[in-house]
Chain A
Amino acid sequence: MTGTLLEVRDLARHFPVRAGLLGRSRRVLRAVDGVSFELERGRTFGLVGESGCGKSTLGRAVLRLHEPTSGRVVLDGVDITSLDPPALKRQRKHMQMIFQDPYASLSPRRTVGRILDEPLALHRFGDRTQRSRRVLELLDIVGLGPAARNRYPHEFSGGQRQRIGIARALAVEPKLIVADEAVSALDVSVQSQILNLLADLQAEFGVSFVFISHDLAVVQHVSHVVGVMYLGKLVETAPVDRIYATPAHPYTRALLDAVPVADPSRRGKRLVLSGEVPSPLEPPPGCPFHTRCPQAMPVCRNRVPRTIDIGQRGQTHRVTCHLHDPDIDH
């Protein structure tokens, strides 16, 4: 497909963990374990999963903020994973990040003007006058007035700080922005403002997003394609409308069912998943979800499920579950 901006193939990020007496026994935490997906230009890939599933590590590995253990990331035809440091640095202007807590990611001692000028100067974005004009333009794009330039991050509310974080990510006109829980710390009334802003930016500048969130409602709103992650693996990937209407993986169904619904008349009509996410240091054999799966079969306990495309009419809908494998006896 000509429209593909980002291609992630079998990406893995493993962390060595020292455990046991004197830290002698070494184990491997497979935070991201063989993840593949692709993203088209001007589109958003929503990544959902519970804490510890590896979604943030995946987001960072895509940008090589975490060095991938194996696998490939290709952004607009350039294999990011094989670049040497100077070449990677040059590529960074095409891929930026927005964090959950803008306060922690904005230097408290710099004015907003300097914070926004930094990426511009780093990537040689014109002379001082041009950069200064760009800073004002950015403030306008994210809905902050020009006076914001001379103020410090602590003078802003949480929502306004997130706008600064977005302006910074946007400064060098990236093709891809990874947003990690970008609205999770915000109040509901402010959250929707920021979500609308991100949609506007996408429509205007054609930027693509990898949008990481634990909130399924937010992900539904912003995404075109959604991937569900469990213990380091994508267990289901499909176009947003399809995955929310007909989730195929039992884990996706359980996640959707657990979302509290702001409608008292629908109270209590849901399936509560038992148990907790197993330790990623000791993932269960077979299908990693079988310990909590209401539909687990004997085969799930010892055989790792294949990823199968159950999509129709040219749409991709991948699911990693024995229930959908025609070669498995149900």
Chain B
Amino acid sequence: MSEALLEVDRLSVDFVTEAGIVRAVDDVSFSIRPGRTLGIVGESGCGKSVTSLALMGLLPRPAGSIASGAVRLGGVELTSLNERALRRMRGAELSMIFQEPMTALNPVYTIGAQMSAVLRRHQGLSRRAARARAIEMLERVGIPVPARRIDEYPHELSGGMRQRAMIAMALSCRPKLLIADEPTTALDVTTQAQVLAQIAELQQELGTAVILVTHDLGVVAETCDDALVMYCGQVVEQAPTSVLFETPRHRYTEGLIAAIPKVRPQRLARLPVIPGTVPDLAELPPGCRFAPRCGFADETCIRRQPALETRCESRFACFHPAGRQAPQA
């Protein structure tokens, strides 16, 4: 495992809420090698975004905090770094883009001013060199007439262009890891296709590892080498993307894949559903967290939490897994 770029080891994150302390991320472990793409997928409240914020050291304080666990990037333990050291890492070593670039970009500075600031701080470039580099990056992400666009303010760009500018900014210092949290969720499908292709192209070129956080299994299928499925703060399954879609093992993954509306050659009379809703983190079931919604759950599932097991290329936590070798439930 020495070749891993990022190692997340038994990470737990707590949030203080009105309902008391809630564990938003519970004992999550995974790793990612240089240049690879990992998709973290799940529904709202599963902890996927909190996990990525924790990696960046960007948990909203004082409500959120890392309760236990380790995050190592290139051998450096991130959870024990102070704010100054973290700031030096962010942008240079690891970088993040968000769903809504408008909230991440500063509205009162031009795109160029914001990009130059990053480049001058982390790479020590001169004003002129930083500007030239910024224009080059904007061109690479497919922004037309970058020499003019660079002097525009975020509000003057369309949603798709703003997301491209964010990507250009995030990758301008060639970080080793890019965390993209729902980067295309606010975009139209045609723009989404362009932006995903752009991220993949730059990733190849720069050798950046990418963590793609999304609720959209279609996006994972299109872009990720590996996929990690989260439910109620826990990892329920991880596998190479092709394995996950071909032979999902956890019953939640199986249900999720079946429930995605897809353009089909033949329309179905009814869509397969997962009954019920995601439980409240403050009122979690004692056993398997998916048990109340699972058609395969029995006494064991209701009482005991399944542990993550590794079988072949998959890792999953389920007492009655799906798949060919599974005993009939």
Contacts and interface: CB of A to CB of B under 8 A. Distances in A.
Partners in one complex: yes
Interface of A: 50-51, 157-160, 187-193, 195-196, 199, 214-218, 220-221, 240-241, 244-245, 254-265, 267-268, 270, 272-274, 276-277
A21 to B, nearest CB: 17
Interface residues on B, range: 35 or more
Interface in B89-146: none
Contact of A189 (B219, B264, B273): B273
Given A189-B43, A267-B221, A276-B160, A262 B188 contact: no
B260 interface: yes
Contacts of A159: 277
Given A192-B259, A276-B158, A260 B271 contact: no
A270 B193 CA distance: 9
Interface stretch (B68-76, B148-156, B210-218): B210-218
B251 to A, nearest CB: 12
Given A220-B263, A221-B267, A265-B242, A214 B189 contact: yes
A188 B193 contact: no
B2 interface: no
Contacts of A221: 261, 267-268, 271
Nearest to A279: B158
Contacts of B259: 188-189, 191-192
A267 B190 contact: no
17 contacts: A187-B278, A188-B261, A192-B271, A195-B271, A221-B271, A241-B267, A254-B190, A255-B190, A260-B192, A260-B219, A262-B221, A262-B245, A262-B257, A262-B260, A262-B262, A264-B241, A264-B245
B270 interface: yes
A244 B262 CA distance: 12
A50 B255 contact: no
Contacts of A216: 189, 263
Given A189-B274, A192-B272, A258 B189 contact: yes
Contacts, number: 130
B261 A157 contact: no
Contacts of B242: 264-265
B204 interface: no
A157 B44 CA distance: 11
Interface in B261-290: 261-265, 267-268, 270-275, 277-278
Closest 5 CB pairs of A and B: A260-B218, A189-B274, A50-B188, A217-B261, A187-B43
A217 B194 contact: no
Given A221-B271, A262-B217, A265-B242, A195 B261 contact: yes
A187 B215 contact: yes
Contacts of B196: 260
Nearest to A156: B277
Contacts of A195: 261, 271
Contact of A255 (B189, B265, B272, B274): B189
A166 to B, nearest CB: 16
A212 B262 CA distance: 17
A259 B263 contact: yes
Contact of A160 (B262, B267, B277): B277
B191 interface: yes
B274 A260 contact: no
Contacts of A274: 194
Contacts of B309: none
A187 B230 CA distance: 14
B93 to A, nearest CB: 29
B307 interface: no
Nearest to B261: A217
Interface in B170-228: 188-194, 196-197, 215-222
Contact of A218 (B188, B197, B220, B261): B261
A273 B191 CA distance: 8
B302 interface: no
A272 B194 contact: yes
B190 A261 contact: no
Interface centre among A159, A214, A263 (most CB of B within 10 A): A263
Contacts of B197: 272
Contact of A259 (B189, B215, B273): B189
